[in-house]
Chains A and B, each alone.
Chain A
Amino acid sequence: MPIGQAKFGLLGGDIGNLELIETQTVTSSTAFVDFTDLGNYNVHFLSSNNFSSTQDAEVLVPYLSNNGGTSFLNSGYMFAGLVGDSNGNYTESKASAGSSMASIGKSGTGTGEHAGSYAYFYNLLNSSKYSFMTSHQIAWNNQPEAEFRLYGAVQATAETHNAIRLTGGLGNIATLDVSLYGIKDN
């Protein structure tokens, strides 16, 4: 964005979009899926479908990296959310010193027990800001029953987070279709 426009400036026209960065598909047991090219965006959109874990009642778990995917952070996360199901159960799910950026899918190992979700990530690539996420999941879980999860999360360290890892919780990822997009605004 030109500096003159950045300071209280107006931008117009069809110059920005939802831009696909990468799609990955898992069809057999896989320990994790990594996105190591995040492009150059302030806001990222992650869409997942057909998630199931090799282990019953497990979740799709996102982690961030500060070294391009060489390793992934397993501390420093805060998340707060609500889990509800079609039996009318509502449960808070939160952590002030979490080991992951919440969870974005719940599955079982039975037929049709899988999850879809979307998540927005903000400021991943900004070295002076925390990295935030909001997410919404709908699943046919391990009970089986319909289940939603709403989360807000933060990696509360001001640094660049330049890779995302998804795991299948305590199991591997059995099936997953996942796409990462950048939301372009300049």
Chain B
Amino acid sequence: MAGNLQFIKSLSTSTAVSELKLENCFNDKYDVYKVVLKVDSVTSEAAQSIRLVDSSNNVISDTEYDFAYQFMRVGSGSYSTDGTIGTTYWNFTMYNEGSVGGFFVMDIYNPYDSSSWTFASWQMASHYLASSQPVLMARKAIGVHRSEEQITGIAAIQSSTRLDGATLSVYGVK
């Protein structure tokens, strides 16, 4: 049965990379998009962040990203909340270790509208080891990209080349 979630594009890697970049996945057909990042494997403990891609297919790294999040953990660590204004990415979107998996689902609003900012909300669940102690990590967050420009793509980034099993998928919400 066809639903109201329309697959647009996905990108996968099975070799270690530092970036998964999906170009030309946002367009004038939809106002709302659902993005799923599935991380099946990292070569070493690694955090992923998100940047948006402009209409020239450049990854935007200007200090235009704000976000706020709730950080829920069990196993080690404690609940916390925080936020950042004017940074170069949406941080704390994913964190992984080993090959047990983890994922986030992000809803993105108005990316293609050149006269509005781009808003997002996301939730993630993942698992890692803190001094051999199993830890479940869950986050719920909101973000805004404070620039009136046309956004055509999205990139999952990390500071090291550790992402060796992952898929980034984008859907339009009808």
Contacts and interface: CB of A to CB of B under 8 A. Distances in A.
Q: A and B: partners?
A: yes
A150 B125 CA distance: 11
Interface residues of A, number: 49
B99 A129 contact: yes
B15 A8 contact: yes
Contacts of B167: 42, 185
A82 B13 CA distance: 34
Interface in A107-135: 120, 122-123, 126, 128-130, 132-134
SS of A interface (majority): strand
SS of B interface (majority): strand
B1 A20 contact: yes
B40 to A, nearest CB: 6
Interface residues of B, number: 45
**Would you list the 4 A-B pairs with minimal beta carbon distance, nearest first?**
A152-B138, A16-B7, A18-B3, A18-B5
Interface in B1-29: 1-15, 17
Interface of A: 6-20, 42-43, 78-82, 92, 94-96, 120, 122-123, 126, 128-130, 132-134, 136, 150-154, 156, 158, 181, 183-186
Nearest to A95: B74
A129 B40 contact: yes
Nearest to B71: A80
B125 A122 contact: yes
Nearest to B14: A7
Given A12-B9, A17-B2, A129-B40, 17 more contacts: A7-B14, A10-B10, A18-B171, A79-B74, A80-B136, A81-B72, A92-B72, A123-B101, A128-B99, A129-B99, A129-B100, A132-B127, A150-B138, A156-B136, A181-B3, A185-B36, A185-B167
